[in-house]
Copies of this chain bind each other. A is one copy, B any other.
């Protein structure tokens, strides 16, 4: 983290503290790795965060303490934003004991915790060491706070999308008949990493022919054959922020049904994009795309759901589906990814990442959309 980022982190902590005050919480226990990164710039594992109105702590152990010192930069931060580090000896002190000690020092009595990010077993053990405190599920606080991305986050998401575009551009000449799903997916992952992706946004999904109808299948040894549909779903990571893009092609000239399949999905995506701006609800977007699919000959094979938020987590709020009444806001980034999946025959999905801006949106993923590959 460079010094210019420190004010961003200070803003995040301040915003969280406002939400905590509104929820009547003296302190908050943070378990999700993505939230430790969001609040403290910590990208390691095996840590727990504690936030109160005036202080913040990161509790970890000897394996990650140097990384925490490097990343959290607590010494250089001014008081009130500074994150203190606690290096726990796991053989001598349970996590609940360490947290209990800190909470007692803070005089906290109403303590929120991320119920969506701690297991029943782990929480049973921790809470047994926190008698006398009101422990309140508060999973949503950080999930909601992360929905709107600040300018720096938007830039990371833009870069992740651009990196994925470049990887696909580099892969295109290598897509040849006879190469297997696994070979090409592995090659895509190598290109992503060579171009600078921090690991993968998720394991690459690549299906040929009938296997293109598996929305989330792992690549197999099936070779690409002329006339196959090809669905490729992949992403890059930049400073923890993820991209998520799907492109669908046909290997050679499209058969009429394949072309209709492509046109239907493309129109469904356009129907949603035409409405995509701050103020629209997830349900409205979903319904617009669904209406196109439902009116087509492929209605029985339409995949449910339209898309999801994307950021430090691949699938995050908001989820664009039939029950999403939430209004989208400027600064949110969502995928728009209608799909049709005909079992045993083939499927097709087109997915882009869009950043909501005042009055409209910006498409972050810009890779080619041509359907037929010249094979």
Contacts and interface: CB of A to CB of B under 8 A. Distances in A.
Nearest to A216: B63
A137 B121 CA distance: 8
A314 to B, nearest CB: 11
A216 B67 contact: yes
B323 A91 contact: yes
Nearest to A210: B66
A190 B66 CA distance: 28
Given A63-B215, A217-B66, A117 B119 contact: yes
A124 interface: yes
A77 interface: no
Interface string A47-72: 00000000000000011101100000
Contacts of A120: 113, 115-116, 118-120, 123, 137
Interface in A161-218: 186, 189-190, 193-194, 199, 203, 213-218
Contacts of A90: 304
Interface of A: 43-45, 62-64, 66-67, 89-91, 113, 115-124, 137, 139, 186, 189-190, 193-194, 199, 203, 213-218, 303-304, 321-323, 341, 343
Contacts of A216: 44-45, 63-64, 67
30 contacts: A44-B216, A45-B216, A62-B215, A62-B303, A62-B304, A62-B341, A63-B215, A63-B303, A64-B216, A66-B213, A66-B214, A66-B217, A66-B343, A67-B217, A67-B218, A91-B304, A91-B323, A115-B121, A115-B124, A116-B119, A116-B122, A119-B119, A120-B120, A120-B123, A120-B137, A121-B137, A186-B193, A189-B193, A190-B194, A199-B203
A229 to B, nearest CB: 15
Given A62-B303, A62-B341, A90-B304, 6 more contacts: A66-B214, A115-B121, A116-B119, A118-B119, A119-B120, A186-B193
Contacts of A218: 43, 67
Contact of A116 (B66, B121, B189, B215): B121
A43 B218 CA distance: 9
Contacts of A122: 116
A214 B67 CA distance: 7
A103 to B, nearest CB: 18
A93 to B, nearest CB: 13
A66 B121 CA distance: 32
A366 to B, nearest CB: 25
Contacts of A213: 66
A217 to B, nearest CB: 5
